[in-house]
Structure 1
């Protein structure tokens, strides 16, 4: 059957690839598996339960939880009624919850646990329109998810059929609120067809089969993981939910997945840990490790380096890289990376190690994929985000902005018709706000965010993300933000990776038995970071080079309000929080 609405995925999987482990989660130390039939039955119970509570077509229901099977039961159960899901990040503030509940007109909420329930109770205290709150975990004083299912069991699934039949592909499936870097969140309206067309058009680039398992850990409230989950299920892939980021290495070894999706920062951390382990080796083992690593860093999936290199790489795979694959479960065929720019060196090393990294690009507003590097080398050029997916148009505007048209482009912003109109031009092209170019006429390359580019006082444009990405290639740099709008030169706020910095201090005779505040002020530490920046400056034009840096002792986080839930820096807030420090960079003697 054709998958035209999100809940058709379950009927499709039951007919074609019914699974005993459609979804799985680790509970009390063992992986508990839910079959396709059980997912369908539970989704029906959610639908019937909500229906009995007065939730109907067009009503809004929020989901606030980390990834678990209940997330999907709720998602399909809401959709079958023609109601609209409003997924939200567990990490956002009570004020954000309050704003979204009110803006979307949420009537019911599914929430994971005790801590999140407390936030929801606070946010809904003055919002009587939020009539029902159910928790996935048992929380004292709260209505448990099982209560809703019991209500649903009393209903007849046959009564759902006319309601499901009334749902059209163009109907609203979900509203995803994007935090952005300024102002209130914007509600991106996506239809069933928006997301499912993205699944269809990405299909040939993502090599998955009904024999595969995927490990899921990126938040389901993010469109990237949501779309990929639908794509997995359409293809009969079994989905296992990681317990947490802290034990993801254990989960990879237990599940042995063929595929997972990730953000670049996680791959950077995996790589940094591998390199740190290499530094602990001694003698011939250490030499062999870094010989293999150097080979990997030279890898290019568009070139044949010749017999000698290929022979050496085979040996490196046998002696060194096979251990990398084992650490990732042993069966991993590919990793799909999205949500930010991937450092080319990471793609090179993982491809060399037999783990194909497929970098994709898109926005919540485009459901999300616009381009993705495929599994085959002819569709994957390292340093680009791959070819444009099927049935999707892209053109580069005169100022370099990427414009797109497709069935995956959003319905619009909820309650904001004027803002929606601003994002489309007279010819119907959606303006992404990203700057890019086509390489060899086939591969899309992203160079920066249009809104984040700035001019120096000399009139030169600076693309901060490119410079920041280069600085973060060093394992000694955890976070970086380039500043310098209307100033003579770019400068940077740099937050060290303190574990690696302390290792460097011990190797270089610098006392690091002190607070981070004291450590970033030590003369040798400052000099080392200044030298590091000078090294990375070499790849940039003179006016783009970072002339000064300030080392900061504390990470920017979602909790401090300096990062979005998708781990993008909130430049305006960070700039304001460090105003005097930044001013000091430009008031000091420039010859330093």
Structure 2
């Protein structure tokens, strides 16, 4: 039976994020709050130390004239200073406007201008350059605060300069930040997150203090995490998934290690040894692919043992899921393989992970089951920026692989017309900034958020997502195709895959564009006599095309006849944020990829 969760917390939640933060500081002042890299070492701060710093920065923002609900931008990668800035903005009653560090100058200026941001935190000289080159287009920005860029002492000041301004303000008005934070209404604007969107201009999603507080308290109420946990946080804090983890941390009080460098994730897991981490499916796909290809490269007995171990592991997990007993012989084999194989896989992630939380896109079931067989649980959740990131999540004691779990306590999920997933609850946005018509399309009169996702609910309330309604297409034979389902299957089968994009709208068969992971292919090249060759040369080789063809053939054995991929082409480059083919949160801009490669797609139908 599914776990039932008490919703009494809804009546006792802190009034706003600022109060929630200061309550956490007061409750566990000497406990570790954050750790972060300084050179080669990791530095640690307590909740009291973080609280003092945030209070000084918040006072500095008040001294600069930031008023309630006025926007303050952060253009930076994930780092400790991002969190200090975000908390300071909210404790000063301002509203954080998030900007990805990869956002180009034009969109950065658009976001800061549309939001009328008054102050901007800029990570470094690269981010500063986007602002200084377009200063005349940012009339509302009175000050820029840089984490590690070059200050001019006038328009651009350092984080220490801002803290010094705050110290002066606190000396004159010691209670100014606490008084300001206590006056923040629950429905006050806390964050403006511009969804990168796969089409058109980004839209600013208006999220309230009450929404973030609710997200943290709703996870706390489920007893998934405790103060004994240790999180590793690398996700972009400009994205709602990264930001919601902060709400959960404030509610529960566990420490968090922060480093946004994606190329350092695996190394950091070995050093930090976290008990949990949030990630997008691409991270799990890459990790799965890396382990599989490394083992295949070793070959021989090691590869045979590895394959047999997962065969046994998957069978044991299947029996458990079906409520059947595991035969003694299988149990003994499983114990042996746990020592020989699975423990080594777990060690790659630090050896202490209780579970990962997957969100932001659909996780392939086969990948989830593979990790589960190795003793690494992935709890898939679901949500979007428009509902403060979290709407549903699986539970460690009730994890139904293939679903995204049940609705957060105190919130609702239902299936509307055309099988569209609808959400309602304290986490839902106020609307889109300055876009009343877009808001009216997304939020109906009864407060339901229309997600644009297609899904279904089982008898116990577990939600399954089958894809974006806009991404579904119909072949000329009248059959509906859900590209994400096929695409994720290929990524589970092919350990070298980066992207697999299926097309076939109003055509008589499906085709695909394929890109391969550059890191995985560099390893393949080493083992196949192509070391030192460029990515383009490698993927254009006959050997690679044959390998991909074999994987596509294998994929087709798992598909319905009308879904099978009849033709495919390998692109000579991987998709990137810089090329405009991926959003900053690594989602494929399908329409851009299609436009860029229309001739190639047409050629497959010629």
TM-score (norm 1): 0.94
1:81 to partner: Cα distance: 2.3
Equivalent residue, structure 1, for 2:573:
554
1:145 to partner: Cα distance: 0.8
- 1:488 to 2:508 alignment: yes
Q: Give 1:477's match in structure 2, choosing from 481, 493, 497.
A: 497
Structure 2: distance between partners of 1:313 and 1:540: 31
Equivalent residue, structure 2, for 1:221:
238
Structure 2: distance between partners of 1:407 and 1:122: 40
Q: Give 1:425's match in structure 2, choosing from 435, 439, 444.
A: 444
| 1:514-555 CA distance string (max 9 Å, x none) | 544444444454344233222212222222222111110101
Structure 2: distance between partners of 1:283 and 1:64: 49
Aligned residue for 1:325, secondary structure, equals helix
1:210 to partner: Cα distance: 1.5
| 1:116-151 CA distance string (max 9 Å, x none) | 221232243432221110111142534211001001
| 1:59-81 CA distance string (max 9 Å, x none) | 11001112222212211211122
Equivalent residue, structure 2, for 1:252:
269
Q: Give 2:100's match in structure 1, choosing from 89, 105, 110.
A: 89
Q: Is 1:454–1:461's contact at 8 Å kept on the other side of the alignment? A: yes
Aligned residue for 1:75, secondary structure, equals helix
Equivalent residue, structure 2, for 1:321:
342
- 1:400 to 2:411 alignment: no
Aligned residue for 1:441, secondary structure, equals coil
1:325 to partner: Cα distance: 2.1
Q: Is 2:289–2:496's contact at 8 Å kept on the other side of the alignment? A: no
Structure 2: distance between partners of 1:502 and 1:35: 42
Q: Give 1:450's match in structure 2, choosing from 437, 461, 469.
A: 469
Aligned residue for 2:137, secondary structure, equals coil
Corresponding pairs, count: 584
Q: Give 1:332's match in structure 2, choosing from 339, 353, 370.
A: 353
Structure 2: distance between partners of 1:161 and 1:18: 16
Distance 1:127 1:409, change over 3 A: same
1:282 to partner: Cα distance: 5.1
- 1:233 to 2:250 alignment: yes
Aligned residue for 1:580, secondary structure, equals helix
Aligned residue for 1:369, secondary structure, equals coil
Equivalent residue, structure 2, for 1:21:
32
Within 5 Å, give how 1:273-422 maps onto structure 2.
Answer: 273-281=290-298, 283-298=300-315, 299-300=317-318, 302-303=321-322, 304=324, 306-307=326-327, 308-376=329-397, 379-422=398-441
Distance 1:311 1:120, change over 3 A: farther
Equivalent residue, structure 1, for 2:4:
none
Superposed CA RMSD in Å reads 2.1
**Structure 1 gap ranges (5+):** 588-592
Q: Is 2:474–2:481's contact at 8 Å kept on the other side of the alignment? A: yes
Deviates more, 1:387-396 or 1:526-535: 526-535
Distance 1:25 1:543, change over 3 A: same
Q: Is 2:310–2:373's contact at 8 Å kept on the other side of the alignment? A: no
Q: Give 2:601's match in structure 1, choosing from 562, 582, 585.
A: 582
Structure 2: distance between partners of 1:78 and 1:512: 50
Aligned residue for 1:106, secondary structure, equals coil
Q: Is 1:224–1:338's contact at 8 Å kept on the other side of the alignment? A: yes
Structure 2: distance between partners of 1:121 and 1:310: 64
Within 5 Å, give how 1:142-221 maps onto structure 2.
Answer: 142-156=156-170, 157-205=174-222, 207-221=224-238
Structure 2: distance between partners of 1:73 and 1:506: 44
Aligned residue for 1:432, secondary structure, equals strand
Structure 2: distance between partners of 1:178 and 1:333: 31
Aligned residue for 1:154, secondary structure, equals helix
Q: Is 1:85–1:174's contact at 8 Å kept on the other side of the alignment? A: yes
Equivalent residue, structure 2, for 1:590:
none
Q: Give 2:59's match in structure 1, choosing from 48, 59, 75.
A: 48
Q: Is 2:517–2:574's contact at 8 Å kept on the other side of the alignment? A: no
TM-score (norm 2): 0.92
Structure 1: distance between partners of 2:270 and 2:500: 32
Distance 1:243 1:183, change over 3 A: closer
Q: Is 1:17–1:210's contact at 8 Å kept on the other side of the alignment? A: no
Distance 1:162 1:9, change over 3 A: closer
Distance 1:71 1:498, change over 3 A: closer
Aligned residue for 1:99, secondary structure, equals helix
Deviates more, 1:258-267 or 1:525-534: 525-534
Structure 2: distance between partners of 1:504 and 1:77: 47
Structure 2: distance between partners of 1:17 and 1:58: 29
Q: Is 1:393–1:404's contact at 8 Å kept on the other side of the alignment? A: yes
Q: Give 2:562's match in structure 1, choosing from 529, 543, 551.
A: 543
| 1:272-316 CA distance string (max 9 Å, x none) | 221222224354333322221223344335234612333322222
Equivalent residue, structure 2, for 1:118:
129
Deviates more, 1:196-205 or 1:481-490: 196-205
1:159 to partner: Cα distance: 2.1
